[in-house]
Amino acid sequence: MLNFYSENKNLIIDDEPIKDKLLTIPLNQKRLYKISHGSFKTKANESIRDVFKENQWIVIHENTGKGQAEAFKNDLTEGDYVYITIGGNELFTIAKVKAGSWGYVPEDITDENGWIYREVEYIKSAINPDPSPLKSFKEFIYPSGNSTLTEITIDKIEEANKNIFEPHFDVEFISEGATKIKSQGELQKHPNNIILFGPPGTGKTYHSIDKAVEIVTGIKSNHEESKVIFDKLKKEGQIEFVTFHQNYSYEDFMVGIRPDIEFEHLRFKPYKGIFYEIAKKARENYLASKEQTALAKSFDQVFNEIIKPIEEKNESVEITMVSGLKYKITDVSDTTIHFTKPSGGTQHTLSIQTLQDVVEGIKEVTSGLAAYYYPLVKLIQEKRKPVGNVQKEKLKNFVLIIDEINRANISKVFGELITLLEEDKRIDAKNELRLTLPNGDKEFGVPPNLYLVGTMNTADKSIALIDIALRRRFEFIGYFPDYSKLEESDG
């Protein structure tokens, strides 16, 4: 016995329980989702939840909107992972989707038809099922996020590991194709203006997608994963894509006017181009994150809330004027607000674009219509303010990809942006500059979190022929033929 102890003493001494060791789950090209059973979170539905647990089902109603039911039916595949939450009340388990199609939950279980299920295999129950620390997080990937099925893309995995999986499941997910650029989670500093150049067929447009995703997320990944993230970010407005051509102009890119085809007589309406719009989003995000506040609601979001009774119930909307009198908004088209004066006079209109410009401080109204514009402006500005305990805005990077940047007259398209694009001329930079645009927008500046990625075909025009003022503001990255591929194909 003494000999046994002597030979194995180190083994016995070292044989202590390992604490806080995470279970690492590699995704291996599979996807990760949140699924919420929030519709069954009440005590009265506990028996229904027990049936789901007994059968190891995840469920969703087939009428769930925003493509969630279709994704549940068609996008979930064998081997994908889900974490199951009971609404914002409880974190339940991590599971793996099993082979097989979806099916209908028998009506006698839910007392309602239309519920569909997928079979899963439970992997790891929550060690801390209380989601209270996550209540302030309202993004869709969190238990309190207003969604039933949400994919946790690779740009969100690090955040989900930190806030959800490590503290609540003792688990971390890793994506084989994802590489952290900085251990601190900070985004690597990229040049604000980049042009990928080279002869045709060398992958410039292909790599512009990967570069844009890297700038926004701080993650280098394979192209397949980057394309999935790219499509998501483009849909959310954090990445935009445009192709230049010979007829492309400043009015298309920044600001200009377009014919108003809704009006019977010839007249024009303001137009805001792709650069103006993405610069506005980036600036709003930058200022909100700098001031540690939540992002204000958009003009369109608040305006649509105000006119909702007109759209849904055909009821007019009353707006109280400074005098205490009220005018009624009776109809709204794409560009025009129709209203009735307090005196009963009809056939009066306000411009939605002018209203938005006044709300955003771009212009002022001094005509007699000011009495009607400004009460509505005040109402919109009040409704745009964040209410309650809203999550503070985090700094995000925005990217505009300009394909075939040298096919347009670049100096003509960029106009005064030639100056504003410089890193030291951007908002809060050492030599910050702001300009008044042709549309009257005062104090326009380019934020530091907006990046331009251009592609340039040198078979059309060499770099030497590019405007020198533009050349010195961009960093050029070359893409050239790989002749070793020819040697491989020749054997």
Burial of 49 (0-12, 13-18, 19+ CB in 10 A): middle
Answer whether 214's CB lies under 8 Å from 194's CB: no
Q: Is residue 277 domain-resident?
A: no
CATH classification at residue 197: 3.40.50.300
- Give the pLDDT mean for 31-44: 92
Residues 112 and 33 in one domain: yes
Contact by Cβ (8 Å): 95, 56: yes
- Rounded distance, CA 239 to CA 402, Å? 11
Distance CA 144, CA 38 (A): 10
Distance of alpha carbon 178 from alpha carbon 342, whole angstroms: 61
Q: Is residue 281 part of a domain?
A: no
236 lies in the same domain as 125: no
Task: Say yes or no to pLDDT of 83 above 80.
Answer: yes
pLDDT for residue 255 is more than 60: yes
Other CB atoms within 10 Å distance of the CB of residue 141: 21
pLDDT tens per residue, range 173-229:
987 544 443 333 344 568 899 999 888 888 899 999 999 999 998 877 788 888 988
Of 150 and 67, more confident: 150
Q: What would the two tokens of residue 344 be?
A: 């009963």
Domain match, 303 and 401 both: no
Query: Which pLDDT score is estimated for 266?
Result: 81
Rounded Cα gap, residues 31 and 33, in angstroms: 7
Q: CB-based contacts of 341: which residues, under 8 Å, 6+ apart? A: 327, 348
Determine the Cα–Cα distance for residues 261 and 485; give it in Å rounded to an integer.
54
Report the C-alpha gap between 400 and 452 in whole angstroms. Answer: 5
- Greater model confidence, 142 or 295: 142
The structure tokens listed for 82 are 């889900």
The pLDDT score that the predictor gives to residue 416 is 87
pTM of the predicted model, to two decimals? 0.62
Picking from 151, 176, 201, the residue at the C-terminal end of a domain is 176
Q: Which domain holds residue 303?
A: 299-384
Total tally of structural domains belonging to the chain: 3
Q: From 105, 120, 121, select the one nearest 61 (Cα to Cα).
A: 105
On the CB side of 462, how many CA atoms lie within 13 Å of its CA?
A: 2
Question: Strand, helix or coil at 452?
Answer: strand
Strand arrangement of the beta sheet that strand 317-320 belongs to:
317-320, 326-332, 336-340, 348-351
Tokens found for residue 40: 């069954």
Mean pLDDT of 386-395: 74
Looking at the structure, tell me whether residues 198 and 90 fall in a common domain.
no
Domain boundary residue among 384, 401, 421? 384
pLDDT tens per residue across span 105-121: 999 999 899 999 999 99
Same domain, 379 and 399: no
Residue 197 forms part of a structural domain:
yes
- Identify whether 44 is part of a domain: yes
Contacts 24+ apart (CB under 8 A), 244-247: 244/402, 244/403, 244/404, 244/405, 244/406, 244/407, 244/408, 244/410, 244/413, 245/404, 245/407, 245/408, 246/407, 246/408, 246/409
CA separation for the pair 374, 354 (Å, rounded) = 11
pLDDT of the residue at 466: 64
Query: Which pLDDT value is given to residue 8?
Result: 41
Q: CA 271, 273, 276, 278: dihedral to nearest 10 degrees? A: 130
Domain shared by 128 and 32, yes or no: yes
Residue 257 lies in a domain: no
User: Rounded to an integer, what distance in angstroms lies between the CA atom of residue 167 and that of residue 64?
Assistant: 30
For residue 124, the one-letter residue type is K
Write down the pLDDT at residue 253.
Answer: 94
Q: Identify whether residues 360 and 409 lie together within a single domain.
A: no
Do 197 and 148 share a structural domain? Answer: no
CA atoms within 13 A on the CB side of 417: 20
pLDDT at 274 over 70: yes
State how far Cα 359 lies from the chain centre.
Answer: 24
User: Which is more confident, 385 or 433?
Assistant: 433
Domain end call among 362, 384, 406: 384
Domain-embedded: residue 86: yes
Percent of the chain with pLDDT strictly greater than 90: 46
Query: For residue 183, is it within any domain?
Result: no
Both 354 and 442 in one domain: the answer is: no
Residues 228 and 308 in one domain: no
Instruction: Say whether both 35 and 138 belong to one domain.
Output: yes
What are the tens digits of pLDDT across the range 289-347? Answer: 888 888 888 888 899 889 989 888 889 999 999 999 999 999 998 788 999 999 888 88
**pLDDT of res. 54:** 93
pLDDT surpassing 90 at residue 244 = yes
The answer to the question of residue 478 being in a domain is yes
- Helices (H) and strands (E) counted in the chain, each on its own, are 18, 22
- Does 458 lie in the same domain as 366? no
